[in-house]
Chain A
């Protein structure tokens, strides 16, 4: 079977009609991984036994003539920040090098209940902290579109695997742009749902008030199918919203004519690459031709989003990462004499540079004497950033922006300058802070043939609208 551009429906239908089997489909993907992943590095762990067991289950269903579930036989990858029972889960960190979770992340369990075949765990920046995947505790991921470039981060492996046809769809996580930015760099679709739309149970926490799980896919429709599968209330995550889940796939074909789309000048200022600007402007023209009305909006506090994000995210991370103490499941240093020495040396050996930097920054921002000046201040600016969107969404149905100010940069280009790396998230972090959904959809490429992403932001719990706009754009 040709894996290139293989979508969920195509894969499922091929097995349903017995043109192929789930087993063969999984094996073909493993063969592709063997052939391609040596140079890309998207996978950290393969879960072959689990995949083949599931494929066998699906094949028996198909043989009995039963209707396959929505993701039946579909080979998927899971970012290594999501727990998988019995399958090593590292979060890209050496501190969890040997961790075998005793339970499944809800999103993963829902994918498998819907028939998905989990091929393995995707490489990522350590604890999802990074924008290039160079912070993985294991190895960097290379962009399949240009191997000298980064795939983006932190869900770099998830994006690269879809772009290189090593999985039909993958799950990623987004705390400051970690689904949308790599999707944009690799030329695939990446969707961050509203905060609370998808349960975080079993997601290894980075910043709990900002963490989201969502799909990376080849098409907007595939992203909609996955969202429909994983969304909805989960009693194991009290922040998961108690709201009905719409049929996102049915939403796709509703018309976009007459829809109001906002353009914010704050997303087209200094630092935006000229080729990215042109591609996004061309995309906006196309949406206009589809009958959308373009309305100028203002998001005046945008310039304060990155500093706000790096205080809140690091403060929450410093607290969440305190659990890696070398006692219950994480790495423990050898030859330690006292408990406190054990904590310090285990964490020193297990955490990478960026993670330590963020723990330090977050601990500093929360420490006595600095809490009001930094952490509380950031929480207040978070309110202002959220109000910006509330105000804008009174006038428009969705907002269109570039996903990232540049196309994929080179490996090593920003790895020694944390601040330059943080600014790669300038167009994505605000949506995480406000909790609104966002999608990145490919919108052309640079002269060097690097993909460019168009970001569409929506109202809380209105994924249907941004999926619809993205789908109309993609199909036109």
Chain B
């Protein structure tokens, strides 16, 4: 078993999930089963392989260019209302579970 009860609690806390006792039990079982399967990646020697985080830093761009130069087409001047107008206040708050007309409203932030 790789993942323990304590790990489940710790990771749930990091992820801002509470999880019921039943969910925790199921999570412990599922995570261990999935990670066991994932372990097969260790059969591969990747010590000299660079990581790949993105597709678009390699394909569809000018590979002759390096670093941010490569993405110059994607950059723009940082101007107010550059690409899209900011949402009107009312629209920005329209989906909020709780708002007072000016701000999103949340429970008091004093202690966790």
Contact = CB atoms under 8 A, between A and B. Distances in A.
The dominant DSSP class at the A interface is: helix
Interface in A263-313: 301, 303-304, 306-308, 310-311
Contact of A209 (B3, B33, B53): B53
Given A344-B18, A381-B41, A356 B55 contact: no
Contacts of B74: 238-239, 242
Contacts of B66: none
A381 B11 contact: no
Given A342-B107, A367-B14, A308 B41 contact: yes
B65 interface: no
Contact of A301 (B44, B97, B106): B44
A45 interface: no
A327 interface: yes
B15 to A, nearest CB: 4
B20 to A, nearest CB: 8
Nearest to A356: B17
A328 B11 contact: no
A248 interface: no
A239 B106 contact: no
A380 B3 contact: no
Contact of B44 (A304, A343, A347, A367): A304
Contact of A336 (B60, B76, B107): B107
B84 A103 contact: yes
A359 interface: yes
Interface string B50-63: 11111110011100
Contacts of A239: 54, 56, 74
A364 B31 contact: yes
Nearest to A96: B95
A461 B60 CA distance: 7
B15 A360 contact: yes
Given A307-B41, A342-B107, A364-B11, A194 B60 contact: yes
Nearest to A375: B51
Contact of A329 (B43, B46, B95, B109): B95
Contacts of B35: 361
Interface in A359-403: 359-361, 363-364, 367, 374, 376-384, 386
B52 A382 contact: yes
- Of A377, A378, A380, most buried by chain B (CB within 10 Å of CB) is A380
Nearest to B51: A379
B1 interface: no
B95 A338 contact: no
| Most chain B beta carbons < 10 A, residue from A194, A233, A383 | A383
B51 A356 contact: no
Interface in A155-196: 194-196
Interface string B66-92: 000001011110000001100100011
Contact of B51 (A336, A340, A380): A380
A232 to B, nearest CB: 12
Contacts of A243: 60
B112 interface: yes
Given A332-B98, A338-B108, A344-B18, A364 B60 contact: no
A303 B73 CA distance: 37
Given A235-B76, A304-B40, A327-B96, A339 B11 contact: no
A434 B59 CA distance: 10
A56 B99 CA distance: 37
A258 interface: no
B34 A310 contact: yes
30 contacts: A102-B91, A194-B59, A195-B56, A196-B55, A233-B73, A235-B83, A241-B61, A301-B44, A304-B41, A307-B41, A308-B41, A326-B97, A327-B96, A329-B95, A336-B107, A339-B106, A339-B112, A340-B112, A342-B106, A342-B107, A344-B17, A353-B23, A356-B23, A357-B27, A359-B15, A381-B41, A381-B46, A383-B50, A383-B51, A435-B56
Given A360-B15, A367-B14, 13 more contacts: A102-B94, A103-B84, A194-B59, A195-B56, A209-B53, A209-B54, A338-B107, A340-B16, A360-B12, A364-B7, A377-B42, A380-B52, A381-B44
Ranked nearest first, the 4 interchain pairs of A and B with the lowest CB-CB distance are A435-B55, A241-B60, A379-B51, A329-B95
